[in-house]
Every structure is written in structure tokens, then in C-alpha cells.
Amino acid sequence: MKKLTPLLLTGILFWTTILTNCEKKEANPVPQTGQPSHASIKRKVLYESAGSSKPVSESVYEYDSRQQLMKVSDYYYDQTAKKLSSYFVFEYNPAGQLLEKTQYSRYFSDTFSEGEKSTYEYQKDQLVKETMHFQGKVAAGYTYEYQNKQLVKQTAFNERGEVVAYTNFEYDPSDNRVKEAQFSSEEKLMRYTKFGYRNHRLTEQSTYTADHTLMEALEYGYDQRNRVVTERFTFMNPLLCVMRPMLTRYEY
């Protein structure tokens, strides 16, 4: 396997961060103050547009008797049927902290095999390190820093432990996350995200490039039990140079 260059790894970490935050909040141990809760979600369906009834992908969630997430199965839709593309399994310590997240896929063969594995390290109740492994070797990871129990910095490192990027987090007096900004290892701003609230609930977040061009936006809809039921995701299509909206629906 070829070694990843710092530029390529930075890009992978950038998109991994986006996908992790958007797709798998339920299994992500990183503190998400102010983020909408997806606790006990059973099914998530992504549609190709906000007004479409045609699904693009689907995720199914399984829990143990303690309501700990144990497995997420990801499906895609082709012309004829829904097909399993990959699945994740989760392991916890007795305190309920996530220790391992392992992906199984068949991207490179006809059978499912172990792909990326993430391991997590804690100091007391706080996550301090996440390491991603591929084919038994360290591929990348993050370290986390806190002030007054709030996450204030996430640092990304490559397979050699070298810093390739970092993200700073800001909060309002109610401890809601209001901004996060990602920088390169040379301290150059790469992108930033702003969060908006209504009635103490996160209702929107927007991500911009360093020159303040909108890259993507999320809008959340809630039910009467304060659970997220819709997530409208709009992103810039780099080929068409237009904003493309997609819609995710959550079932509990």
C-alpha cells in the first residue's frame, strides 16, 4: 500500500471529519455540545433531493440491552434492490465508553473483510485520542484537548504521528458550540463552520472556505420529543458549481 502524502492525508482527514459528523454522530465519542441528539435511532434514509421519495442509501442501527449502539449496517440502492455495502461494529468498556469501531466491507472483494478500525483512549471521562488503523497499521488519528470540560481543540496526525491539521472550537455562555475552525499544520485557515440555535436547539450549521464561500449547509427538523427527524444537507457540487440539496429522515 502506498504511503499517504501530507496533502492527501489532510484531504482524507477533512472528509472523514465531515462524514463522521454528518453520518455517525450516534457512535462518535467526541463531545458534541449543542449538537442534535440521535439517541436510539433505528433507521436513517438518505434521499437524492429534498422533494424526492427515491432513497439513495439507508443505515440500520442495532443496540444491546443497555441501549449501547452495537452495529450499523449501511445499504445502497441500485436499479433493482437495496444491497448491503458495509457495516460497523462497536465495542465498549464497562463504563460504557466506546473502545473500538470496526468497519467491514467488500469494496475490494466479493466477501466482507475488515477495513478501517478506530480505537479510542480516555483520561477519566474525557476522550483524549482516536487512532485509525488500516490493514493492521496506524493510518491517521486525532488528539483532543479540553478547558473546563469543553472540547477546545482537535489535532489530526498522520501515520508517523506528524500534525497535519487542527480544529479549534468556540462556545456561547450556554455551552453551545457556535464555531469550529480547521487549520493546516502551517496554521493556515482551511474552513470554518458556524452553528445557529432556536429555543436552545441546534437548527442550522454552515461550513465555509477560508475565503468565506459557502461549501455546505445543514438544517435540522425536530419532533415533539425533541428528536431530530429530518436533516436537510446542501452542498456545493464542484463539477456543476451549484448547490445540491439532499434530505435525510430519521426513524426511532
Residue 39 pLDDT: 60
Residue 25 within a domain: yes
Residue 133 pLDDT: 97
One-letter identity of residue 212: H
**Percentage of the chain surpassing pLDDT 70?**
81
pLDDT tens digit at each of 252 positions of the chain: 444 444 444 444 443 443 333 333 344 444 443 344 456 899 999 998 878 889 999 999 999 999 899 999 999 998 888 999 999 999 999 999 999 999 999 876 778 988 899 999 999 889 999 999 998 899 999 999 999 999 999 999 999 999 999 999 999 999 999 999 999 999 999 999 999 999 889 999 999 999 999 999 999 999 999 899 999 999 876 655 566 789 999 999
Residue 197 within a domain: yes
**Residues 203 and 184 sit within 8 Å (Cβ to Cβ):** no
Phi, then psi, of 225 in degrees rounded to 5: -95, 15
Q: Give me the domain span that covers residue 226.
A: 6-251
pLDDT in tens, 151-165: 999 999 999 999 999
Residue 235 within a domain: yes
Residue 66 within a domain: yes
Buried b (16+ CB within 10 A) or exposed e, 127-152: beebbbbbeeeebbbbbbeeeeeebe
Residue 151 within a domain: yes
Residue 1 within a domain: no
Residue 35 pLDDT: 42
Whichever domain contains 46, its CATH number is 2.40.160.190
Q: Which residues contact 228 (CB under 8 A, 6 or more apart)?
A: 36, 37, 38, 220, 221, 222, 250
30/227 Cα distance (integer angstroms): 20
Residue 91 within a domain: yes
Residue 181 pLDDT: 98
Question: Domain tally for the chain?
Answer: 1
